[in-house]
Amino acid sequence: MKTLSLFIITMSLVFSLIGCDHNDQRSLKDYEDSDVAAIVRDKEITIGELRFLYADNEVLNSIDDAVRMELMIQEAKKMNSDVPDKIDSMTKTWKTMSLDDIEMENSQRAFIKSQAGKLGMDPDEYFKEWLEITSVRSLYIMEYTQNAFRKLEAFNEELAAYNKEVSEHLDELTNANEKDIKILIR
């Protein structure tokens, strides 16, 4: 349960880093799930992957943030870390959980049920897959921020100030890797 609490805190940090750039000129209906939205080094990020993680009205505005997250994940994988061991131990927990086992806000539960319906999946099936994907991503992102940037000193530390520092660091990381990043859908 401690790991799940840490996951929820990390996801809050990750989601607080996500910007809200709204561009109403584009429509998700213009794209197929197989369309590549961006490439980070050699890793393609497809519209379908983004649709799995975000509500349809957020997908196109999440591309830049998905690029930044992928860059952090790749950087974390280069570090000598115990993330793969954490993933292995958490996998057993993920497989036994159901949507009813987790306390969450009604809006989060509605999002999961909506996404499951949109993707033609059972809500528990979608939830388990979503939980695994977001947990793995979060573990790598947490690993990166704690080792390449700095640890959040305490939960009472000003989260907005910390997020601003992390965001500025990610801007620098993104700029330093600009030649290895291609955003194909703007």
What does the CA dihedral 175, 160, 52, 130 come to, rounded to 10 degrees? Answer: 120
Q: Which helix (H) or strand (E) holds 46?
A: strand 43-46
Question: pLDDT per residue over 17-64, tens digit each?
Answer: 444 444 445 788 999 999 999 999 999 999 999 999 999 999 999 999
Residue found under tokens 């994988």: 77
Question: pLDDT per residue over 119-164, tens digit each?
Answer: 999 999 999 899 889 889 989 998 888 888 777 666 565 777 888 8
**Is pLDDT larger for residue 66 or for residue 145?**
66
* 24-40 b/e (C-beta count within 10 Å ≥ 16 → b): eeeeeeebeeeeebbbb
pLDDT band at residue 114 using 50, 70 and 90 as cut-offs: very high
pTM for the complete prediction? 0.78
**Distance in angstroms (rounded) separating the CA atoms of residues 94 and 140:** 17
What does the CA dihedral 86, 91, 96, 97 come to, rounded to 10 degrees? Answer: 70
Give the three-class secondary structure for 108: helix
* Domain locations in the chain as residue ranges: 26-183
Q: In the prediction, which pLDDT does 1 show?
A: 44
Q: In the prediction, which pLDDT does 6 show?
A: 47
